[in-house]
Structure 1
Amino acid sequence: MTDSNASDPAAGPGFPVELPRPPSFRLEGRTALVTGASSGIGLGCAVALADAGAKVVLAARRQSRLEALVATFRGRGWAAEALALDIADVEATARAVTQYGPFDVLVNSAGLARHGPAVDTATADFDAVMGLNLRGAYFLTQAVARGLIAAGKPGSLITVSSQMGHVGGIDRAVYCASKFAVEGFTKAMAIEWGGYGIRVNTLCPTFIRTPLTEPTFKDPERVRWIEEKIKLGRVGEVPDVMGSVVYLASDAAALVTGTALMVDGGWTAD
């Protein structure tokens, strides 16, 4: 009688079993640029990357705030630097990326929201949101990719997008337009730069309690709308995005590119 398990190395004692090695979530030896790092989601991402071992360059417009944060980071034994930067200024941003890069990881969390009915959208508000959320994000990602390509290095480029890059929302036509566009350029860039080992993805949170979203939470009607849409029954907090950004930045996501990681409590599952 033939033993059907004879060729199976896991079938019995004496047979060595080779197990797959799990990828690392650690980021030692990598430098990460985090924009919008002075507060909210951006600060949470910077903390998560630093805790995972990356050297983090915290970038935002408020230099004094950044310097205080860097001192706190260093007090915890984390490698950190401050960089005053307004990504809406595309030319200045490109110069800064060239000077301080190349960056192995980019997390762009700089963003702007000016909500209101679409019939009332002012051109100034439209231009301000698109100038930061779309134009600034596009050319920042381009600048970091250029540095990596010139250095012959792989990398992970992440834009903090939104669930509103996948669905519509009340009083959010301009914001949705900017984030839908971010999702589009992310896919195209991922196709173009995959051959260089550069991964390009978005992180798409639901409503996270931050200074940016606080006005929304003061409106009872909007709060009811949010609570009805989030299937897990609670509003997001900054720690909810911290593990996700480490995943996308690390080798654990080595085959993940051109996609959106939803951190939305099930909002877009409908």
Structure 2
Amino acid sequence: MADFTGRTILVTGASGGIGGATVRRLVASGADVIASGSTAEGLEPIVAETGVESLPFDLTSEDEVRAAIEGRDLWGVVNCGGWGGEIASPVDTDIDVFDKVIAINARGSLLVTKYAAASMIRLGRGGAIVNVSSQASLVALVGHISYGSSKAALDNITRVSALELGKYGIRVNSVNPTVVMTEMSAWYWGRPEIEGPTLERMPLGKWATEDDIAGPIEFLLSDDAGMISGVSLPIDGGYTNV
């Protein structure tokens, strides 16, 4: 089991399923977790359950990100905050939705990395950042022009950040999950005409659970992954390998 005793880790998107599962695992492994989300109200359940610190801020506002993170002594970050946007083709896409998805998923994660990495460099203890990307960045998915593009940008943020921050002992990786069948995703992926063909193509033939994603996040943060940096790790039941 990983040991994060004495390490402060910021988790964005902590009010969501993957973010919440990640918070629970990190707390159990001794980390001092700071849980972030867009609203204090949304964070109340995970804070009440785990006793972690609540730090709400708007990922699209550089001023809010800077004010929240600057001066904090962070060892690690999980960039889990994100938004799905819409299901639309390139012809039908709403560019305002595209801009918002990019602003949250890519730009927001970069802003958090910008200010968190400055803190980690200042402390001189190294550290680790894990970005929660998607299988939608690795293969083309129907209707995912906005979401897939935002996650492809996030994967490049991961690679360049790993390159630039490695000299400070800071590792940066992405995880690229398949669908976690939550209420939020079921409206689309739960449709029989979508779910059936997708699971038939997937070698393991099942959707991921929140812990299926949180476990590899914990591993990539841990010292056991001390020589892993700049990777985009599919957690997709083999889907992107077919």
- Relative to the length of structure 2, the TM-score reads 0.95
Partners of 2:62 and 2:108 lie apart in 1 by 6
Structure 1 residue runs without a partner (length 5+): 1-23, 75-79
Q: 1:229-256: per-residue Cα shift (whole Å, max 9, x none)? A: 3210111111111211110111010001
Give the 5 Å matches for 1:1-270: 25-74=2-51, 80-99=52-71, 101-113=72-84, 114-270=86-242
Which secondary structure state, in structure 2, belongs to the residue aligned with residue 222 of structure 1? helix
Q: Are the aligned partners of 2:14 and 2:46 in contact in 1 as well (CA < 8 Å)?
A: no
Aligned to 1:4: none
Is the alpha carbon distance of 1:147 and 1:211 closer, same or farther for their aligned partners in structure 2, counting shifts above 3 Å?
farther
Whichever residue aligns with residue 233 of structure 1, its letter is G
Aligned Cα root-mean-square deviation (Å): 1.3
Shift of 1:95: 1.6
Counterpart residue identity of residue 212, structure 2: D
Question: How many pairs are equivalent?
Answer: 241
CA distance in 2, matches of 1:230, 1:48: 27
Offset of 1:57 from its aligned partner?
0.7
The TM-score normalised by the length of structure 1 is: 0.86
Aligned residue type for 2:97: D
Q: Which has the larger radius of gyration?
A: 1
Equivalent pair of 1:162/1:204 in contact (CA under 8 Å): yes
Distance in 2 between residues matched to 1:221 and 1:90, nearest whole Å? 41
Identity %: 33
How far, CA to CA, are the matches of 2:169 and 2:120 in structure 1?
Answer: 9
Shift of residue 195, structure 1, vs aligned partner: 0.6
Structure 2: distance between partners of 1:218 and 1:190: 36
In structure 2, C-alpha distance between the alignment counterparts of 1:142 and 1:117, rounded to whole Å: 32
Deviates most, 140-149 or 224-233: 224-233
Superposition misfits of 4+ residues, deviation over 6 angstroms: none
Q: Which amino acid aligns with 2:42?
A: R
- Indicate if the aligned counterparts of 1:52 and 1:246 stay in contact, CA closer than 8 A: no
User: What letter matches 1:111 in structure 2?
Assistant: G
